[in-house]
Structure 1
Amino acid sequence: MSTQVNTAAGVAVHTDSYYAASANPSPDRPPLEGDITTDILIVGAGYSGLSTGLHLVEKGYKVTIIEAARVGWGASGRNGGQIVNGLNASLQTIKKRYGADTANFVAGLVQEGGEIIRERIKTYDIQCDLKNGNIFAAYTAAHMRELEDRLNLWAGYGITNQELLDKGQLRAHVNSDAYIGGVIDHSGGHMHPLNLALGEAAAFERLGGVIYEQTAAVNVDAAAAKPIVTTAGGSITCNTLVLCGNAYLGHVVPTLASRVMPVSTQIIATEPLGADLAHALLPTDICIEDVRYILDYYRLSADKRMLFGGGLVYGGTDPSDIKAKLLPNMGKVFPQLKNTKVEYAWSGNFALSFSRVPQMGRISANTYFAHGYSGHGVTGSHTFGRILSEAIDGDRSRFDVFEKVPWFPFPGGRMFRVPYSVMGSWWYALRDKLGI
C-alpha cells in the first residue's frame, strides 16, 4: 500500500517527560530480524494495541506487536493520565447524528474503558499510582448549564455516579477562584499513563505475547489472503492484522491517514510542591479538566508535582516554547504557583476525527483498525481493544455497530484541514470568552 516509514521510526528513547523520568523498569526489546509468521499481528504498542493484544493472548491466540519506537512512546505514554468517561462527541450529538439506537449503545459502554483499566491494574498488579475521581470545571453560567444538561442526559441512560458541585462544593476539591462550579464523576480517575502501558505490555508478554520495538511498518499488504507487513529488518505474515498506530501511523496506510488529523497537546510538570502546598491546591487529590473548547487539564503526580496540560496545535507540530504557552494558564488557576519551577515540558499527538467520534473498522477482510479517539483515548482505546478482540474471536456484534457509523472527511481534505480546524477553534474559543 505504501512505503513511507512511520513517523516514530528510529526513535530509541521516550520523549523527555516526567513520565519517562519516573517510569517503572522495562526491558529494551529487540527489533524484528528476519521473516516470521503469527496468528495476529498488531501495529502499535500503545493502549489500543496493548489492550487488543492482551485480550487476545488471554483467549489463547499467538499475538505479535510491532512498535516503531518504544512501548507507550506515543500518546499512551504522554497524555494527562486522566480516566475520563465518555467520547469527545456528546451522547446528545451522537443521538442527533446517528439515532437513538446508536446513542443507547454508546451510553452502555462509555464507562467500560475505565472499568477495564482498573481490572488490568488489579489483575496484573500494575503499579501506576491509580487515584479515583475526576471533575469537570465551569468558568461561566453557560458552562454550568452545559454540565447540568450533561448530568441529566447521562442519568437518563442510567449513569448516576456523577453530581453537580456549586462554587463552595468545588472549592473543597480545587482551591481556585477561577471556577463557579462543576461536576464530579466518582467513576473517573487518574494514573501514571506510561507505567500503565508498560504494565500492560509486561502482562501481555507473561502470557506469551511477543513485542518488537524499533520496528516500524514500512509497507502493509492488506489485500493478501494473509496480510503481510514489511519492516526494515524483515516481514511478518499473519492471519489477522490490526492497525493501532493512531496519530503516529503516518502515511503507511493512506486510506487511514486521510480519516484523521494529528493534533498536539502539551503538558508541564513542576518541581515537587511538598505535601502542604499540594494539599492546599487539590485537597482531595482529584484530577480536573475544564469544559472550554480548548481546555486546561491538571492533577498531582505521586510525588506531588503539578502536572498541567492544555493547548492544541492542529497538524501535530510542537510549540517552540511549551512553558511559555502553559505557564500563564496555570497561573490563572493557581496564582500560588507563579514562581514555581517547571522541571519538565513535553508535547504529544492525538488523532482527531472530524466528527469527534472514534472509528473502528476494516480495510480488508482480515485487516482491522481503530483510531480517532479525539482526545479521549485513555478510556476509549481500552474499550475498543476489547471490542476488536471480540470481533477477531468471532463475536462481531459490537464491532459491527461501530463499523457502520459513517465517518466524514475534513472539509478541504488534507491540504485545508488545519486552517479549517484553526478557524473553528477560534470561534469556539470566542464563545467561551463571551460565556455563550
Structure 2
Amino acid sequence: MTYPDSYYRRTMADQTVRRSLAGKVDCDTVIIGGGLAGLTTALQLARGGQAVAVLEAESIGFGASGRNGGFVSPGYATGSAEIARIAGQDAARRLHLLSIEGMDFVRETIEALAIRDALPTRGITSVLRYEDGASLKAHAEKMRRLYDYELDYLDRDQVRSVLKSKRYFQALRDRRAFHMHPLNYLRALAAEIERLGGLIYESSAVTKVVLDGAEKRVLTGGGEVRARTVVFTTGGYTGSLHGRLKRAFLPIATYVMVSEEAPDLVASAIATGDAIGDNRRAGDYYRVVDGGKRLLWGGRITTRAASTDALVRELRAEMVGTYPQLSGLKTELAWSGLMSYARHLMPQIGRMSPGVWYCTAFGGHGLNTTAIGGKVVAEGILGQSERYKLYQPFGLVWAGGLAGLAVAQLTYWKLQAQDWWRERAA
C-alpha cells in the first residue's frame, strides 16, 4: 500500500510547475496561500482589474484544498441554530444564502472556464444511520420555505435500493449540489489567473510580513512582494507566520483513502453516482470515482499527528461495517491534509486592519465557503460591497491553543460515543 497523493497526481490534468519568487515584485494585492480561498480571491481580483500575486509554499492545491472529498454543497461546519444564536436570525438566513451562492459560483466557474477535468457530477445524498424520517421531512420543508431550495426525501426502501447497507435509513438528496475533482478545479483557476495577468509563485514560503504603513512587504527566502493589500488564506498551514491568525484556529487533520480498481465489487454495494455523507458529526463521506472503477472514502479527524496506517485501518473498519460485501476491496492509497477550524466552527473572513485581510478556517466545508469567502473579500478590496461584514460575529477568537486541541479531540470522542449510542437505540 502507498500513501502519497498518487491518485490525484495520476489524475491531475495540468502538470505545470511554477517558478519560485526571486527578486522584488510590486502589485496591488498579494495573497499568501495557493489553495481554494487564495485562488478564488486572486481570480476575482484579477477579473476586477487588479495586479495580483499569489505566494504558495508548496504547489497549487497542496494539502486538503486540492485533495479533499470534492463535495460542493451549501452550509457551514456548524448548524443554522448556532449561527442564528450568535448572529441573529436575519444574518443567519443571509449567511446561508451566501453558502448557496458559493456553491453556484463553483459550478458557474467550471462552466465558464470549461473545466471538463473537474468532472462535476450532480447529486449529494445525506443519509441517516437511524430511523427519523420526520426530522428530514421537516428540514426539507424549512429549506423550501426559507430559501426556495428543494431537497428530495428518500424513504428507507429508496435508500437501500441504491446503498446496499442495513446501516442506512432515510435520506435527503440535494439535486443542486455536486461533487468534483478539486485539484483539477484549482489548477484551472491558477491558469485563468495567469491568463488575466496574475503572478503565481510556488515553493515560495513566506518568512516575514511587514504590515505597517500603506505599502505592505511580504518576504520569502528568495524575494519580496510589495503591495497595498495583503490577504492571508493559509488555513491549517499558517504556522507561526502571523500570531493572531495562528491563535484563532485549530489545525485538524483529515484522512481519505482510495480503493483498488474493482468496478463490479464497488457496484455491488453502491448503485448511485451521488456523493454520500452520513449524519454523524464526523461521519463517513464517500463517492465512486475514476469512472466507477474505484471508491474514495473519507472520514476521521485528529488534532495531532496520527499514523496514516492506523487511520486507514479505522476507515476500512467503517467501510466494511457499513458494507460487509466490500471486505475484499483493497485500499490502494491514502493521504491526509490539514484543515483549520475556529472555535465557533464558522469561516473567519474579513479585514484585520487597513490593507490586511484574512479568509480562512473553513472547517471541512470548504468547497462552497472558500468560494464565497474569496468572492466577498475581493468585493471588499475592490470597493464593490461590504458583504464580508456578515462574517464579523465570527471573528478571530482565540481557539485555546494546546488546551483547545485537547478539548476538540475530547469533544470528537464524545460525539462518536453519542453517535454510537443513538444508532444502537434506534
- Taking structure 2 as the reference length, the TM-score comes to 0.94
Counterpart amino acid of 2:81? Q
Query: Matches of 2:138 and 2:413 in 1, distance apart?
Result: 24
The yes-or-no answer on 1:62 pairing with 2:85 is no
Question: Among residues 228, 231, 234, which one is paired with 2:217 in the alignment?
Answer: 228
SS at match of 2:99: coil
Question: Among residues 266, 269, 290, which one is paired with 1:281 in the alignment?
Answer: 269
Q: How far apart are residue 107 of structure 1 and its match?
A: 2.3
- Taking structure 1 as the reference length, the TM-score comes to 0.92
Aligned partner of 1:422 in structure 2 is: 409
Counterpart amino acid of 2:21? L
Query: Matches of 1:306 and 1:30 in 2, distance apart?
Result: 35
Q: Structure 1 residues 98 and 43 mapped into 2: Cα distance closer, same or farther (>3 Å)?
A: same
Question: Among residues 306, 316, 321, which one is paired with 1:327 in the alignment?
Answer: 316
SS at match of 2:49: coil
Q: Structure 1 residues 363 and 254 mapped into 2: Cα distance closer, same or farther (>3 Å)?
A: same
Task: Answer whether contact 1:19 1:194 (CA < 8 A) is retained.
Answer: yes
Aligned partner of 1:196 in structure 2 is: 185
Q: How far apart are residue 325 of structure 1 and its match?
A: 2.1
Task: Answer whether contact 2:151 2:174 (CA < 8 A) is retained.
Answer: yes
Residues 330-352 of structure 1, C-alpha deviations (whole Å, 9 max, x = no match): 11122222112211111111111
The yes-or-no answer on 1:134 pairing with 2:121 is no
Q: How far apart are residue 224 of structure 1 and its match?
A: 2.9
Aligned partner of 2:326 in structure 1 is: 337
Question: Among residues 310, 313, 320, which one is paired with 2:302 in the alignment?
Answer: 313
Aligned partner of 1:388 in structure 2 is: 377
Q: Structure 1 residues 223 and 315 mapped into 2: Cα distance closer, same or farther (>3 Å)?
A: farther
Task: Answer whether contact 2:128 2:279 (CA < 8 A) is retained.
Answer: yes
Counterpart amino acid of 1:243? F
Question: Among residues 21, 25, 33, which one is paired with 1:36 in the alignment?
Answer: 25
Query: Matches of 2:87 and 2:389 in 1, distance apart?
Result: 14
Query: Matches of 1:37 and 1:210 in 2, distance apart?
Result: 11
Aligned partner of 2:365 in structure 1 is: 376
Q: How far apart are residue 85 of structure 1 and its match?
A: 1.5
Q: Structure 1 residues 315 and 358 mapped into 2: Cα distance closer, same or farther (>3 Å)?
A: farther
Question: Among residues 83, 91, 97, which one is paired with 2:80 in the alignment?
Answer: 91
The yes-or-no answer on 1:295 pairing with 2:283 is yes
Counterpart amino acid of 1:420? V
Counterpart amino acid of 1:235? E
Q: Which deviates more from structure 2 when the two are superposed, residues 36-45 or residues 334-343?
A: 334-343
Task: Answer whether contact 1:263 1:316 (CA < 8 A) is retained.
Answer: no
Task: Answer whether contact 2:256 2:335 (CA < 8 A) is retained.
Answer: yes
Task: Answer whether contact 1:261 1:315 (CA < 8 A) is retained.
Answer: no
Task: Answer whether contact 2:4 2:334 (CA < 8 A) is retained.
Answer: no
Aligned partner of 1:81 in structure 2 is: 70
Task: Answer whether contact 1:355 1:407 (CA < 8 A) is retained.
Answer: no
Task: Answer whether contact 2:14 2:184 (CA < 8 A) is retained.
Answer: no
SS at match of 1:48: helix
Aligned partner of 1:258 in structure 2 is: 247
The yes-or-no answer on 1:18 pairing with 2:3 is no
Question: Counterparts in 2 of 1:87-126, with a 5 A limit?
Answer: 87-126=76-115
Question: Among residues 182, 192, 195, which one is paired with 1:206 in the alignment?
Answer: 195
Unaligned runs of 5+ in 1: 1-13
Residues 303-335 of structure 1, C-alpha deviations (whole Å, 9 max, x = no match): 321001110101465545332121111111222
SS at match of 1:141: coil
Q: How far apart are residue 93 of structure 1 and its match?
A: 1.6
Question: Among residues 10, 26, 37, which one is paired with 1:48 in the alignment?
Answer: 37
Query: Matches of 1:405 and 1:355 in 2, distance apart?
Result: 7
SS at match of 1:101: helix
The yes-or-no answer on 1:431 pairing with 2:421 is no
Structure 1 outlier segments of 4+, above 6 Å: none
Counterpart amino acid of 2:271? P
Q: Structure 1 residues 323 and 316 mapped into 2: Cα distance closer, same or farther (>3 Å)?
A: closer
Normalized per residue, the structure richer in helix is: 2
Residues 213-246 of structure 1, C-alpha deviations (whole Å, 9 max, x = no match): 0001111112232111110001100011111111
Task: Answer whether contact 1:19 1:193 (CA < 8 A) is retained.
Answer: no
SS at match of 1:294: coil
Query: Matches of 2:304 and 2:134 in 1, distance apart?
Result: 32
Query: Matches of 1:213 and 1:433 in 2, distance apart?
Result: 44
Counterpart amino acid of 2:170? G
SS at match of 1:418: helix
Q: Structure 1 residues 210 and 48 mapped into 2: Cα distance closer, same or farther (>3 Å)?
A: same
Query: Matches of 2:252 and 2:307 in 1, distance apart?
Result: 10
Counterpart amino acid of 1:70? S
- For these two proteins, the number of residue pairs brought into alignment is 419
Query: Matches of 1:193 and 1:317 in 2, distance apart?
Result: 24
Residues 62-116 of structure 1, C-alpha deviations (whole Å, 9 max, x = no match): 1110100000002111111111211011222211222112112112212112211
Residues 244-292 of structure 1, C-alpha deviations (whole Å, 9 max, x = no match): 1111111101100011011111111011222x44444332311001111
Counterpart amino acid of 1:431? Q
Unaligned runs of 5+ in 2: none
Q: Percent identity?
A: 29
CA RMSD of the aligned region, Å?
Answer: 1.8
